[in-house]
Structure 1
Amino acid sequence: MSTGNGPFDPGPEGRATHLVLENTAGRVSLWPVWREVPAGWSVRFGPAPHAACAATLEPATRRTP
């Protein structure tokens, strides 16, 4: 069993470790910066810390001001 972080786990605090990708169908995905962006997807946000990327995926009604 691995004890390291997985590719979708938060990285070191404050480091730009993730992207938010979007495909042509409008679907979005949280993606690690070290992985190649798959064909058919483009960067919508980032690179940025995990928390900042994850916050862009939350529905606007769930965000707190």
Structure 2
Amino acid sequence: MTLQSGPFDPGAEGQDTHLVLENARGQLSLWPAWRAVPQGWSVLFGPASHEACAGRVGARRR
């Protein structure tokens, strides 16, 4: 068992484990909340559950 989730681990249900990031080109990234936001990206949504963040990214693709 590790103290931190892996970068793509959905985490425990109902926990705010992820962010949706956006860069200057409008690209989105599903990102673990415990990791630092990389330079050039900003938080668009979250922290929220993996499911909510994945839904936000998916909705943008449509």
Shift of 1:6: 2.2
Question: What's the TM-score, normalizing by structure 1?
Answer: 0.81
Match of 1:40 in 2: 40
In structure 1, stretches of 5+ residues that fail to align are none
Compared with structure 1, are the counterparts of its residues 53 and 24 closer, same or farther at alpha carbon in structure 2 (3 Å cutoff)?
same
In structure 2, stretches of 5+ residues that fail to align are none
Q: CA RMSD in A?
A: 2.0
Compared with structure 1, are the counterparts of its residues 33 and 61 closer, same or farther at alpha carbon in structure 2 (3 Å cutoff)?
closer
Residues 3-29 of structure 1: CA deviation (Å, up to 9, x unaligned): 765211200000000000000010000
Q: Show structure 1 runs of 4+ deviating over 6 A.
A: none
Bigger Rg, which one? 1
Question: What's the TM-score, normalizing by structure 2?
Answer: 0.84
The alignment of Structure 1 onto Structure 2 pairs a total of residues equal to: 60
